Structure 1
């Protein structure tokens, strides 16, 4: 058997890559890149460094697997080529390949085919994974774009709503200013009407007085602040009776007092009902029973009411619509009856809040009633009178005289038990409320009934009757204190007098007794003042 000649092939080693070293190098690169991302602010809004590192390491692992498959495929292809070449050479030289060799070749080809299938499956899996990753990335980008659009829409809506709110506030402010201007113009028109009434009455002196008041009133309403205004316009129902009021006011000699008649009607009924002047019990009612609201004819009610008011004005000797002292006397007489007018003149020379309160108490006791009339009737009527708000501070001495009579009281049981407490409390506010009640100021709404200092402050502030510590107070003002200087008021009293430098007070619960105290004007312990409209 001839010797088979074979080709001498120089054997050598196939160099392979150091996979571990390569992987280590790539991980170091990822760490370096991750650190750069941490320091780079441009990448913080898109993705975190952890996410970047995780994605990079996963990608390197996939790349390593891919390289291994590729190397295996390459090695298998090289081996198959070598085998095919050797078989071809042997066949050309007439060498018959043994059966075992042919079996080896088939087995080798089968393994190579299986490896090719595995590699194909791995490529499919890798492509599928890459597709999913791409889809997720695109989904995230789409979601980010949608979020940005929604955020833009929301921001636009917020800006639009803010603009609408600002516009609404401006419209409301404009509306309030227009209402205030209209009210002041109505007041000026009423003043002009009063002047015309005075002219028709032929009173030169009255004309001069009314003209001065018109000028002063115009300046006050257009340049004064709202917190000091006490005038409230009468209702449309009262204004509707203007012609009837003028008719009977002229008939009974008080044509220049039509605004007073309107103010009385406003206080009595607001212009509503069949007896708008509440004149059923008046002596001038000759048609209907003398019981409340018995008159069923509004014009007849006005006729009787105007007659009664004209009688009171005459009894009080009123000179003109600006004679406020005598107008107060007449108004209280309209409420109590003209017997009060002569009594008040004999006792005090005219109207005072003190004698009005005393007369009411005296008549209530005489008749066995709980109360008699309205102790604050002039103040209640004059808030509807265009000239009534220039005459503050009348009658504020009554509450001080009541408070002075309680000096020396210890423990304050008289005051806190009156308020409704069953045991001792800090009673400074109860004392102020008790004094106000004795004068009828709580019933009239001049001073609130309060037991907590903070509640009293809130009431005065809400009614625009509040002044800071720098204010120079008047007799009867309510003074509030903040002993700790921490912005939390904790005491209250009444101002007895003020000489411009020192405030003199009467306080309850001062060392658990009622006593007089004094403080410098604007002193640090003073929190502020409530200024009642007596």
Structure 2
């Protein structure tokens, strides 16, 4: 009877165990390689860190699980098949052979017991394989759960980041829209303010007409608009400074006081300096320009901005400062020696010449002024301030200055406004040079013509352009617009004078001026070339030096 070979069974078992160990080692090596690869790799620029990490964990874990499962499965199947085959062979030999030899029997018994051990070992291997498969499945489930959780967390983080980014983008876009809307609103507010002020100014022109017509509803509306305009506090508030706001002062009284101060300074120079001849030259800044500079500077002062619709002592001082910054009076005295030859009859039919020497002292007074543009440079006005200044001095606003300066609101008062704004100017250079003369002439008629042109009356055919008083008189007579000296004139009428004595009038006009107003039988006038300057004068109605009046058809 052949011996039962057990070495093959043992060898098979050992090989199965070696292969299991090899599979486990391979699994370990694969895990280490995957781990190192995940640790040493750099994420793609296109993926987020969370997405890259989730992908690497999933990839590495999947690789490990896949290789472990298949290695254990293959090795376990091989071990089980080998063990089954060996057991079957052992049982077959054991039952066929009858063992009589005690030693051989003992060997066979040992072999049988060894085979039973092998079977048990194989059974344990089978259990180990099952346990390994269950561990693999559990690990696989755990890994998949972990991967799924990581992926969900990464996606949630990605969604949160995207939401935050979208919210930030929306917030930035909203901020840009809000900023643009704010700028647009500010520009619209500025335009609306200017438009409202212009509307207020236009409404003021209709106030007197509305009062005469009894339009009380319109008057109330205008008053409300004016109150709103006063609250605006812009430079255009200067057009409402002609009314007393409770301080007892108006722009008109302040201007009159400054005019008196100006004339007093001229009188002081004249009286304090002995002279035989007075020569005056230059011209004074016109009041609308002075007031426009005052309005812009006062309302836009970065340190102490104030409204200009009202007048008080402090604002009057500001106005005086600007007036004297815009006007400068200088004077000088020159003495000359003149030789005079006088011829007389000695009584015997002979002509006797007598030569005498005389000293003559001449007082020269020069008035210089700065324009509104020069003051804008002096005060370093910015673009907005210069724009406001230009708007105040625009042609369309000229009639509004009459209400501010002189309380005149009717159309025929515009020429009075212009004339009064020239008070204090000396020498007449702006007027005779405008007319076309290259040097000084007697300029009273040039002054009247210049004022009429400023109002547009020459182009309209209301007042003629004339440099000789006789020409002006004839123009009004030819059109039936002439009145004699006993006429009670209205503001804006043109007054002509004949300076011959009461009994010797020759009927020719020697001088001309503009009627300012009539009060209590007294005619107040503004005249150019009165003592070589623009001055206010007054006469009683019917005064003998009055030749008559031209009455323009305003």
TM-score relative to the length of structure 1: 0.36
Structure holding more strand per residue: 2
TM-score relative to the length of structure 2: 0.35
Instruction: Give the number of the structure whose alpha-carbon radius of gyration is greater.
Output: 2
Does 1 or 2 have the higher relative contact order (CA < 8 Å, sep 6+)? 2
